[in-house]
Structure 1
Amino acid sequence: MSVIPLLLIGIAAGFLATRIMRVETDIPTTIAIGTLGAIIGGLTLRALITVTGWLAGLVGAVLGAMLLIWLWRQYGPKR
């Protein structure tokens, strides 16, 4: 997947994941969460099963972003 589609999917995934997980973040953090989630989710899905299509990429990106948010809540800075 090239960089531009990865960023677009990452932005959408970050937005969806932060809304699903009820996390209030600024725009750069949301994009970073989504992009890292897209990388994590994309690699995980490709390692587990061979799935094609942008919808599968979006699902993987959202799941990866949700995992990243969960890890951040568990092991990140405490407020």
Structure 2
Amino acid sequence: MPILWLVIVGAAAGFLATRLMRIEAGIVQTVLLGMAGALIGGLILRFILTVGSLVGGLVGAVLGAMLLIWLWQRMRGG
């Protein structure tokens, strides 16, 4: 169940992050960005703020995905 939840939250976070950052990405890229963002953002928020709620996890996932998108754009020169 935790893996399924990570995919669901990752898809939602990736979708929101790609829309907020105004980039076009495929479904697989969006989900992977969201999942990675969920891991990064979730760890950061839980560590700093000890946030355990679903809303906090989603916010952390979106912020993490946005950070990855920003880094990805900088690395490819966009």
TM-score w.r.t. the length of structure 1 is: 0.91
- 1:10 maps to what in 2? 10
The offset of 1:11, in angstroms, is: 0.3
What is the root-mean-square deviation in Å for CA atoms of aligned residues?
1.5
- 1:42 maps to what in 2? 42
Unaligned stretches of 5+ residues in structure 2: none
- Distance in 1, matches of 2:8 and 2:59, equals 13
Letter in 2 for 1:50: T
Counting matched residue pairs gives 78
Q: Deviations over 1:7-44 (max 9, x none)?
A: 11100000000000000011000001100000110111
Letter in 2 for 1:6: L
Give every structure 1 segment of 4 or more consecutive aligned residues whose post-TM-superposition deviation is greater than 3 Å. Answer: none
Unaligned stretches of 5+ residues in structure 1: none
- 1:33 maps to what in 2? 33
The offset of 1:78, in angstroms, is: 3.8
Aligned identity (percent) is 55
The offset of 1:70, in angstroms, is: 0.3
